[in-house]
């Protein structure tokens, strides 16, 4: 419980401080195949894994790297962030069936690819919706869940 509270405080502080971030550490682009779609992700730091799911527009760089959230998180945790399919540097399939539930499954597939059974999963805005949906289908993959900036 204390570890979860510490993580919550760290992430809350990082969300508040992201406007004042200086030059962020570089996160190296990596890719994996998620059911035929090339998904871009970054993986930085060591320790308990924390998956960061961003808001709708932009990219993982704009949401997590340039704001300083990922580099700061990576000092104590293994920070993992991905660009959703159709966004950022990830593949952009044209078939509408390639979206929807596939966004949730990309997170599960990334955890499998990284050989991580469970992770803290933090969702902001639409990422909070993905986190909540994922919790209903794959709750066994969560250490904890944090929803930020989500309605409903």
Q: What is the pLDDT of residues 2-29, one digit of tens each?
A: 565 556 655 655 554 444 444 444 578 9
At 127, which CATH number? 3.40.50.1820
Please give the residue that has the higher pLDDT: either 130 or 152.
Answer: 130
Domain that holds residue 11: 2-148
Torsion of Cα atoms, 29 then 58 then 10 then 14, to 10° = 110
| pTM, to two decimals | 0.83
Dump the DSSP string for 9-41.
HHHHHHHHHGGG--SPPP---EEEEETTEEEEE
Q: How many distinct structural domains can be found in the chain?
A: 1
What's the pLDDT tens digit per position in 22-78?
444 457 899 999 999 999 999 999 999 999 999 887 899 999 999 999 999 999 999
């Amino acid at each position: 419980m204390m570890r979860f509270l510490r993580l919550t405080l760290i992430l809350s502080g990082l969300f508040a401080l992201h406007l004042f971030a200086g030059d962020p550490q570089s996160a190296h682009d990596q890719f994996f195949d998620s059911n035929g779609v090339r998904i871009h992700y970054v993986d930085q730091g060591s320790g308990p894994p924390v998956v960061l799911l961003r808001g709708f527009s932009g990219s993982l760089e704009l949401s997590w790297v340039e704001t300083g959230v990922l580099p700061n998180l990576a000092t104590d945790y293994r920070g993992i962030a991905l660009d959703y399919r159709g966004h950022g540097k990830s593949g952009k399939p044209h078939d509408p069936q390639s979206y929807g539930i596939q966004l949730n499954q990309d997170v599960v597939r990334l955890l499998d690819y990284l050989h991580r059974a469970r992770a803290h999963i933090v969702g902001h805005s639409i990422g909070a919706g993905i986190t909540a949906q994922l919790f209903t289908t794959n709750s066994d993959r969560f250490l904890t869940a944090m929803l930020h900036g989500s309605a409903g």
